[in-house]
Amino acid sequence: MGKTIGMILGILVILLLIGLGVAGEFFYRRAVALNDKAFIGQAIVAGVYPLDDPWRMERMWYENANREILTIRSTDNLILSAIYLVENPDSKKVALLAHGYTGNLKEMAPYAKLYAEMGFNVLVPDARGHGESEGDYIGFGWHERKDYLQWIELMIEKSGKDAEIALFGISMGGATVMNVSGEPLPTNVKVIVEDCGYSSVTGELAHQLKEMYHLPAFPLVPITSFITKIRSNYWFSEASSVNQVKKNKVPMLFIHGEEDTFVPTKMLDEVYEANASPKKMYLSPRAAHAKSYQENKEDYKQVVQEFVSTYIS
């Protein structure tokens, strides 16, 4: 009788482990692997300018701006691609932009024009695994932080040792520039602006599990993290914007939409409180995720311009 119960329990444990493995694989494919993400909005199509597009003029400018294609080889041997907009050829100011989850450099028109109007030349990379850049997984801003260190060095080479650099990122790009902030940076990096980045990958995925699937974080997040470590060489627990901004020495502006439910607004408080450098917060009224600029254009522009110009002439 005891052996029978033991066998049944053993079989149940095996089935449970198999089930958890299948679930972990599903959520790895859902969140980390590159594939169609149906829960993300439609991609921007080049050359198509709908009349109801709030960024119609900015996109027309962006797609016709003077540009150069640049590439780097990452530390793990991926060819990464970017466009470099030289709208201010005599300027030593360079803005490096970071786009969001599953996006690409095409979506960065409003921000590129904002910085170009401030006298910056603008570098807009495709994150690894996005757009024209190589890669087969999403790094959630963690592996990308090392890529941006290389982009920074390339911009110093192109603009000179007296280059003044601003970093800007939105959503996953916001997490990217926060993660960059915790690394040793050249003094050329003068200011960072993050817009609606998450405080940690673990926290963001736990939030999405609850919101989209009504499931608890444990044990699905740890299992998916284990699969991600095997497949993509990082643990979710490593990718913590909170831990990175604790080491930050560069002035940072934190922006978040007041009605953001995709990256909950409470995450703004977590990263803002943890940040060790001079800082400012802008909570954009009525704005959903990644809509702070669109919802409050003039205020957003003024806040960014005033903060950036405090540290870059």
Average pLDDT over residues 27-47: 60
Overall domain count for the chain? 1
Owning domain of residue 171: 46-200+239-311
Q: How far apart are CA 273 and CA 244, in angstroms?
A: 12
φ/ψ of residue 299, rounded to 5: -65, -45
- Does the pLDDT at position 87 exceed 90? yes
Assigned domain for 160 exists: yes
Assigned domain for 32 exists: no
Tell me the average pLDDT of the chain.
Answer: 90
Taking only the tens place, the pLDDT of each residue in 248-284 is 999 999 999 999 999 999 999 999 999 999 999 999 9
Characterize the bridge pairing of strands 189-195 and 93-98: unpaired
* Alpha carbon separation from 28 to 8, 72, 138, 231, 275 (Å, rounded): 30, 27, 10, 9, 30
Taking only the tens place, the pLDDT of each residue in 44-84 is 655 666 778 899 999 999 999 999 999 999 999 999 999 99
Average pLDDT over residues 23-37: 64
Q: How far apart are CA 223 and CA 225, in angstroms?
A: 5
- Residue 180: how many CB atoms within 10 A of its CB? 28
**Whole-structure pTM value:** 0.90
Helix axes 56-64, 109-117, angle to 10 degrees: 80
Q: How far apart are CA 144 and CA 200, in angstroms?
A: 14
In the numeric block, the tokens 């736990």 are attached to 206
In the numeric block, the tokens 């609850």 are attached to 210
Average pLDDT over residues 136-150: 95
Spatial CA neighbour of 99 closest among 89, 109, 84: 109
Assigned domain for 218 exists: no
DSSP string for residues in 217-234: STTHHHHHHHHHHHHHS-
pLDDT band with cut points at 50, 70 and 90 for residue 21: low
Assigned domain for 234 exists: no
Assigned domain for 293 exists: yes
Under 8 Å between Cβ of 201 and 144: no
Assigned domain for 78 exists: yes
Q: What CATH number has the domain bearing residue 271?
A: 3.40.50.1820
Taking only the tens place, the pLDDT of each residue in 160-183 is 999 999 999 999 999 999 999 999
* pLDDT (0 to 100) of residue 154: 98
* pLDDT (0 to 100) of residue 290: 97
Assigned domain for 191 exists: yes
Report the share of the chain in percent with pLDDT over 90. 74
